Amino acid sequence: MLVRRQAPFIILFITISILALLPLFAVLGYTFFEDGGLSFESIRLILHNNNIMQTMQNSLLLGLYVMAATTCIALPLAVIRTKTFLIKSKWLDILFLIPFMTPPYIGSMGWILFMQHNGYYEQIFTQEAPFTFFNVAGMVFIMSMHLYPFLYLMLKNALLRMNGSFQEATLIYGGHPLLNWIRVTLPLLLSSYVMAALLIFIKTLAEFGTPATFGKRIGYDVFTTEIHAYLSRWPINISGATSLSLVLLSACMLIWYIQNIISRKYTYGIHSGKSPSTASIKDSILIRYMSIGYVSLILGLSIGVPYFSIIVTSLLNIRGEALSFSNLTLRHYGELFTVGSSSFQALMNSLSFAFAAATIAALIGFCMALYIFDAKRKSQQLLDFTSLLSNIIPGIVFVVGLILFWNSALLPATIYNTIWMPILTYIVLFLPYSVQYTKSALSQLHPSIHHSNAIFANNYSVILLRVWLPLLGQGILAGWMMTFIISMRELVGSLLILPPSVETSATFIYSQFEQGDVAKGMAMAVITVLLTILCIFLMERLQRKALHTS
Amino acid sequence: MIIQLKGVEKKFGNVHAVKPIDLTIKDTFVTILGQSGCGKTTLLKMLAGLTDPTSGEILFDNQTIFSRSKKIHVKPNKRQIAMVFQDFGLWPHMTVFDNVAFGLRGKMSKSRRSDIVHDALQKVKLEAKAAMKPGELSGGQQQRVALARAIAINPKLVLFDEALSALDAILREQMREEILTIVQSIGAQAIFVTHDQTEAMAMSDSMVVMDSGDVVQTGSPEQIYHSPANPFVANFIGKTNWVEDCKKMIRPENIHLHPYKHTTVKSGVVKKSMYEGDRYLILAEADGYIWKFYDSHPHEQGRDIKFYVEENYIHSLEKKEALS
């Protein structure tokens, strides 16, 4: 009886344990257990290493800088999008998603190609840049240009929710607009801001693409690149990698914990039923031009420049020669799509791994979301938390754990060195997306739908086929697409975990950029971002449709 | 059907949402009345099987449908009940027809199903809307669909959870009558949960009044109105004049402006006249109390007034408490 009632939980918990929990325990075990006994030797060694202290400092400083820079970019943007005539331009939000969805290593490569010696900047302006780009500031800039949309969207949504009767009440009871802003808007905005900013911090700590490309050039090592180096550079130092992973993990958990406390304490229900009237907004010409100018500047810097660089590079016949129409060619794309070439093979690998990972993740995520439902019971909360672990814990930590776990001598069989390894890795890393998309589709339904199901349906398969699939289908599909696009271009896991002589588009771009034919790599990058943008538009349409029907 | 609750209670952590209840329900139309948060919806959900009681037993016609100690838990879809929700709970992606037909799936042939659905939609006068989605209908029409869905499965008991609260006042009164007729026509029983006392009195043969997780009084609407068991019930249902601080009370309609048999006269000052559409509610001060009664025309504020209190209708709450 008990076992039968708990069966869904047990099955799901075993699944999530194999996927995520056991690999994490493998990291712990490898660090703290030596010859069957508890040992703090390896973590002590790591902490006494001067290099490591430098790395830690680098990572944390980078996080702080990026947090500050994204704030400077995103706050004005959010204000412009909610308080000026641009409030109606919903399509802008899709554009702002593009830099966020662009793989950071591709954006970073775009900026490197643009700013490097003899790069496109010097070719266009026929002079050297008046400032040095290749330093920490440049790196902060590139990462902020990738991450600001996240902060912007959170702030914009918070501001929009505040518009209705809150705004009207402030107009009636408040004083000077600036004082109203300070007394009402900012405090209500604070919790959204802190939550988003801390997530930016975590994302910066966990980021691999930019440090691996740009950071490497300026000699700025961070956690992720160090861990990668420990595992890929001779002599391989596994305990170094696990110890460093643990430090990174603790830092992220700590920040996440702080964020939780803040959000619990300072989050208010700032939903007001009435939507604001947008017709009354009349801006002065100056504000109009400044808004348009600022939005264009940000879009130009975050999309225009890097996309220009990668597209031009992928089209150039001979690099180093002038930018002219006679120097353009589609040769690199031709090679890319030649059946049997290594690049074509890499692209196909990426697509098929991503397809498998997205499909399995969607299935698991759907079951998880249905079980978690409203997260009232302890077992539901436990699954909710574990299924979202990879949102908090940096991907590279999971990758280290997965390598250790699937190489463990205790396992009767292993998928290590097979193509299932990258697929499994992508599932682990991106499971939160499919869980969250399904959960949010579920939460938009009236709570009594569940009661209706319980009372009127004669068996569970009817509920599944007639209610959940049609109602949640769009959410599941959106989650599937999200998992598909980010799996397709995932870099750090692929670098470490792919079986020998198997390449994906991400590792192909990386290796061609580092030592090979940059043009070929950039052609692949263009294909990757085109697929990404296509998926963003499809997802946008799906979600709009889903909102329309419910 | 005879519904029996034996020591049924529900705790959420440390919160005692429903305190142990022993109750037998036999009447056709029963209302569970109480303020929000009194546990009435939790009680209804336990009857439906949507929430499990923390302890106790529930019996339908002497058959146990829930018992924690005996490990009996009949699923909601096997209890021969139907439910109508405040927010309707219709599946937004299905047509009206499919919503009503849903409970019949897997039970009968397609043609029989279609007949029953048309029959149910006819009863709620929505045959013409069968092909529409719930989102295209008005609130009142959606509630009718929910009602049709409930009667289509031919339940022995229909549960209504604040079913009329989402509708406007005029529609609400119209639906009251319709619900009673329709439920009667299929020979089912109904239990309504509501916080609206007029609705409760108008719709039920017997009432269950709840306050902070406790059943405080059961009985016919008339019994409860005329002899409330405690000050809470007296204040909650109808308007009350307190004669002695929360010990004796009298309803406003038993105070008159002309002498009758067994009346005592009081002299006071008019404080306020409030128009209620069909009559005026007059508030007057006498003996240090505010008295409420009705008249067909307003009285000027500050005027002296004489009124007559029917002694026989003064209800003492103390006796009741002593009895129970």
**Is A532 part of a structural domain of the chain?**
yes
Q: Which domain holds residue A396?
A: 330-550
Model confidence at A318: pLDDT above 70: yes
Assess whether A296 and A387 both reside in one domain. no
Element (H, E) at A462: helix A460-462
Nearest residue on chain B to A457, alpha-carbon basis = B103
**Is A257 part of a structural domain of the chain?**
yes
Q: Are A434 and A476 in contact (CB under 8 A)?
A: yes
Task: Name the least confident of A417-421, A434-438, B241-245.
Answer: B241-245
Query: Which of A455, A466, A470 has the CB atom closest to B76's CB atom?
Result: A455
| Residue extents of the structural domains in chain B | 3-226, 250-323
ipTM for this prediction: 0.73
Element (H, E) at A38: strand A37-38
Assess whether A364 and A253 both reside in one domain. no
Say yes or no for a CB contact (<8 Å) between B89 and A550: no
Element (H, E) at A33: strand A33-34
So what's the pLDDT on residue B193?
Answer: 94
Q: Give the mean pLDDT of B193-222.
A: 92
Nearest residue on chain B to A451, alpha-carbon basis = B50
The two tokens of residue A269 are 């229900």
Q: What are phi and psi of B243, to 5 degrees?
A: -90, -50
Model confidence at B227: pLDDT above 60: yes
The predicted-structure confidence for A213-267, as pLDDT tens digits, reads as follows 999 999 999 999 999 998 888 788 888 888 888 888 998 889 888 888 887 777 6
Give residue A379's identity as a one-letter amino acid code: S
Please tell me the distance from the alpha carbon of residue A255 to that of residue A247, in angstroms, as a whole number. 12
- Can you name the CATH fold of B3-226? Rossmann fold (3.40.50)
Assess whether A310 and A401 both reside in one domain. no
Query: Which of A1, A445, A462 has the CB atom closest to B106's CB atom?
Result: A462
> What's chain B's average pLDDT?
89
The predicted-structure confidence for A155-202, as pLDDT tens digits, reads as follows 988 888 776 566 666 666 766 777 777 777 777 788 788 888 998 999
Q: How confident is the model at residue A432 (pLDDT cuts 50, 70, 90)?
A: very high
Q: Which of A5, A19, A3, A4 is nearest to A383 (CA)?
A: A19
Three-state DSSP class for residue A34: strand
Q: What is the DSSP string of A363-390?
A: HHHHHHHHHHTT--SHHHHHHHHHHTHH
Say yes or no for a CB contact (<8 Å) between B153 and A446: no
Q: Give the mean pLDDT of B208-236.
A: 91
Nearest residue on chain A to B150, alpha-carbon basis = A456
Query: Within an 8 Å CB–CB cutoff, is residue A2 touching chain B?
Result: no
- CB interface of B with A, residues 49-68, below 8 Å: 49-50
Assess whether A364 and A259 both reside in one domain. no
The predicted-structure confidence for A200-211, as pLDDT tens digits, reads as follows 999 999 999 999
Q: How many beta-carbon pairs under 8 angstroms link A with B?
A: 75
- DSSP state, residue A520: H
Q: Which of A542, A430, A546, A526 is nearest to A484 (CA)?
A: A430
Assess whether A242 and A127 both reside in one domain. yes
So what's the pLDDT on residue A283?
Answer: 75
Which residues of A are less than 8 Å from B45 in CB distance?
451
Which residues of B are less than 8 Å from A449 in CB distance?
89, 91
**Is A291 part of a structural domain of the chain?**
yes
Assess whether A238 and A371 both reside in one domain. no
So what's the pLDDT on residue B324?
Answer: 39
Q: How confident is the model at residue B155 (pLDDT cuts 50, 70, 90)?
A: very high
> Which residues, at least 6 apart from B109, have a Cβ–Cβ distance to it below 8 Å?
none
Assess whether A361 and A296 both reside in one domain. no
Please tell me the distance from the alpha carbon of residue A367 to that of residue A356, in angstroms, as a whole number. 17
Q: Last residue of some domain: A283, A316, A349?
A: A316
- CB interface of A with B, residues 108-137, below 8 Å: none
Q: Last residue of some domain: A264, A284, A316?
A: A316
**Is A324 part of a structural domain of the chain?**
no
3-state secondary structure chain B: CCEEEEEEEEEECCEEEEEEEEEEECCCEEEEECCCCCCHHHHHHHHHCCCCCCEEEEEECCEEEEECCCCEECCHHHCCEEEEECCECCCCCCCHHHHHHHHHCCCCCHHHHHHHHHHHHHHCCCHHHCCCCHHHCCHHHHHHHHHHHHHHCCCCEEEEECCCCCCCHHHHHHHHHHHHHHHHHCCCEEEEEECCHHHHHHHCCEEEEEECCEEEEEECHHHHHHCCCCHHHHHHCCCCEEEECCCEEECHHHEECCCCCCEEEEEEEEEEEEECCCCEEEEEEECCEEEEEEECCCCCCCCEEEEEEEHHHCEEHHHHHHHC
What total number of domains does chain A contain?
2
CATH of domain B250-323: 2.40.50.140
Model confidence at A378: pLDDT above 90: no
Please tell me the distance from the alpha carbon of residue B193 to that of residue B165, in angstroms, as a whole number. 10
Domain containing residue A256: CATH number: 1.10.3720.10
Assess whether A171 and A87 both reside in one domain. yes
So what's the pLDDT on residue A38?
Answer: 73
The two tokens of residue B205 are 């043969």
CA distance B92 to chain A (A): 6
Say yes or no for a CB contact (<8 Å) between B103 and A457: yes
Please tell me the distance from the alpha carbon of residue A77 to that of residue B16, in angstroms, as a whole number. 49
> What's chain A's average pLDDT?
86
Nearest residue on chain A to B71, alpha-carbon basis = A1
Query: Which of A446, A455, A462 has the CB atom closest to B81's CB atom?
Result: A455
> Which residues, at least 6 apart from A46, have a Cβ–Cβ distance to it below 8 Å?
A52, A240, A243, A244, A247
The C-alpha R_g of chain A, in whole angstroms, comes to 25
Q: How confident is the model at residue A272 (pLDDT cuts 50, 70, 90)?
A: very low
Q: What are phi and psi of B162, to 5 degrees?
A: 45, 45
Query: Within an 8 Å CB–CB cutoff, is residue B209 touching chain A?
Result: no
Model confidence at A113: pLDDT above 80: yes
For residue B249, how many C-alpha atoms fall within 13 Å in the half-sphere facing its CB? 26
Model confidence at A36: pLDDT above 70: no
Please tell me the distance from the alpha carbon of residue B28 to that of residue B7, in angstroms, as a whole number. 23
**C-alpha distances in Å from residue B199, one per residue of A271, B33, B146, B178:** 31, 9, 19, 13
Q: How confident is the model at residue B46 (pLDDT cuts 50, 70, 90)?
A: very high
Mutate to test the interface with A, among B51, B84, B91 (most CBs of A within 10 A): B91
Q: Last residue of some domain: A281, A316, A351?
A: A316
Report angle CA B228, B231, B236 to the nearest 5 degrees. 75
Residue whose structure tokens are 């924690």? B68
Which residues of A are less than 8 Å from B93 in CB distance?
470-471, 549
Which residues of B are less than 8 Å from A447 in CB distance?
87
Model confidence at B149: pLDDT above 70: yes
Q: Which of A27, A13, A17, A23 is nearest to A416 (CA)?
A: A23
Assess whether A434 and A473 both reside in one domain. yes
CA distance A10 to chain B (A): 21
Element (H, E) at A37: strand A37-38
Assess whether A305 and A337 both reside in one domain. no
CA distance A546 to chain B (A): 10
Residue whose structure tokens are 């420990």? A230
Query: Within an 8 Å CB–CB cutoff, is residue A444 touching chain B?
Result: no
So what's the pLDDT on residue A331?
Answer: 86
Please tell me the distance from the alpha carbon of residue A94 to that of residue A71, in angstroms, as a whole number. 20
Count of Cβ atoms closer than 10 Å to residue A128 Cβ: 11
Residue whose structure tokens are 């579920």? A442
Assess whether A334 and A274 both reside in one domain. no
So what's the pLDDT on residue A182?
Answer: 75
Omega cis (within 30) before A306: no
Task: Name the least confident of A63-77, A306-320, B120-134.
Answer: A306-320
So what's the pLDDT on residue A500?
Answer: 86
Say yes or no for a CB contact (<8 Å) between B83 and A451: yes
Query: Which of A451, A466, A471 has the CB atom closest to B89's CB atom?
Result: A451
- DSSP state, residue A328: B
Please tell me the distance from the alpha carbon of residue B110 to that of residue A497, in angstroms, as a whole number. 54
Three-state DSSP class for residue A416: coil
**Is A33 part of a structural domain of the chain?**
no
The predicted-structure confidence for A51-92, as pLDDT tens digits, reads as follows 788 888 999 999 999 999 999 999 999 989 888 888 888 888
The predicted-structure confidence for A127-150, as pLDDT tens digits, reads as follows 888 888 999 999 999 999 999 999
Query: Within an 8 Å CB–CB cutoff, is residue A464 touching chain B?
Result: no
> Which residues, at least 6 apart from A279, have a Cβ–Cβ distance to it below 8 Å?
none
**C-alpha distances in Å from residue A210, one per residue of A138, A145, A232:** 11, 11, 18
Query: Within an 8 Å CB–CB cutoff, is residue A1 touching chain B?
Result: yes
Please tell me the distance from the alpha carbon of residue A204 to that of residue A147, in angstroms, as a whole number. 8
CA distance B129 to chain A (A): 18
For residue B184, the cross-strand partners are none
So what's the pLDDT on residue B93?
Answer: 84
Task: Name the least confident of A1-10, A434-443, A541-550, B143-152.
Answer: A541-550
> Which residues, at least 6 apart from A356, have a Cβ–Cβ distance to it below 8 Å?
A423
So what's the pLDDT on residue B65?
Answer: 93
